[in-house]
Structure 1
Amino acid sequence: MGKRAGERPPIPEALPVPIVDAHTHLDACGAKDAAGVTEMVDRAASAGVTRVVTVADDLAAARWAATAATWDERVWAAVAVHPTRTASFTDADRAEIEALVRQPRVVAVGETGLDYYWDYSPPVAQQEAFRWHIDLAKRVGKPLMIHDRDAHEDIYRVLEEEGAPEKVVFHCFSGDAEFARRCADKGYVLSFAGTVTFRNAHAQRDAAALIPSCQILVETDAPFLTPHPFRGRPNEPYCAAYTLRALAQLRKVDPAELAAEVGANAERMFDLPRTTPREVGGSER
């Protein structure tokens, strides 16, 4: 990327049908206050990404996300403690997460799950916290948003042992076609980030090509995982439009058709109000 490594990618042409960035981190993208959130979501809306779910990975981020969701009507939140932060996960932490997740603009319990790539938290602690988050999602009746890194079989096993909530989202799905088929058979929804556009992501592309369109979401996981050809540059919610178009090409469908499907999937999964085409390009506020 050379001199452009620190520059945001260009904002693409607006999608013909609005979509939701199903997983982003607005705080990590630099949106520290209400004005910053609105500016960032305005950019996303200009590309047809008219709503976002900003996601927490620790208690401080959970507090911020729940508050940020009240600053702009296009922002919703998900809260949990990330598996790499679970080495010390106290009763007080659990009580605060539960109080936050019950707030009306918090639409999911996440991101939670297992991460065996990093060694910040031992697997036993991660699994105990994951089981608690599963139970929380069932008790509050909200979707479970899963972080799964190098832990496919244990994630699947724990969901089987605990009994999965009604709605399960695999954030930034990283499995292969066989694992995708098993998850789809369980009714789980798979969310695809910019990784599916990477040249070496053959397994993820195979997975994205085969699952039913009613079980697909699109996300950025911004500021990480910027889609090709902008890999390595800062990511933002508007870049979900690049991933949506790449998925449409992969699945050999019209982008408008896929956008309508994934937009409806996000509304169903997160119990969001239905949107209208005239919202593309900006907020109606």
Structure 2
Amino acid sequence: MNYALNAENVRKYFKKNKKIVHALKGIDLKIREGEVYGLLGPNGSGKSTFIRIASTLLIPDSGRIEIFGYDVVKEASKVQKLINRVSVEASFFRKLSALENLLFAAGIHGMSKKEALMKINDIVERVGLDKKRLNDPLENFSRGMQQKVAIARAFMTEPRMMLLDEPTTGLDPRAKREVQRLIEDMKHKMKATILLTTHDMEEAEKLCDYVAIIHRGRIIVKGRPEELKAKISDKVHNPTFEDVFMEFTGVRFDEAEYEEVETL
């Protein structure tokens, strides 16, 4: 089978305070085209490191990732044409308007202003942006609105794969629901393959077709959300994802997050 993303034995370490920190310890993932794949884990577990390697921003120390058959290291320029990434803190020219930021992004990718305006008009409707506010400075937008602009900007290049790195972290509940609805729409209306990193278990269960739990740089377990809960249903009545995490890692999620942050 040809996969949208195929990762084999990906390892990455960093030096910090004269110590070697192993962020990824042999990650294997296979993502089918058209699915939303969740990489669920506490802060410091290696999620963002993996997504930065997948988006060609970091080079693995060993192992490989292919996206639609292209190696992210050896064929980075080809991969970059197929993907786009939205991070927890999207970077903008905040004094400029949303429209100016979107036009700038389009120009970088060689689009004419006429073509860009046509795309922007279509995309902002899809992501639920208020067209009346497109000329407002981004610094006046809420975090939720800024994330919508970031996702709209990512779709300017019509990527086959979206890499969403904690896109709802720090948002208020309403903005979080809006971005989550947008992620669902991306799958159904825009036919994008999505890799979503999150430490929100409810979000992973709600949005993802398939989930891999990552802990201390290793994939502990993976499967469809209902399958993961079914694996422990004989031990826990009406199990939650919190129960799934604790069963396979041996620690509660909040304890793991504190532990990981302290370690890294």
Please report the TM-score for the alignment, with normalisation by the length of structure 2. Answer: 0.38
Please report the TM-score for the alignment, with normalisation by the length of structure 1. Answer: 0.36
Which has the higher Rg, Structure 1 or Structure 2?
2
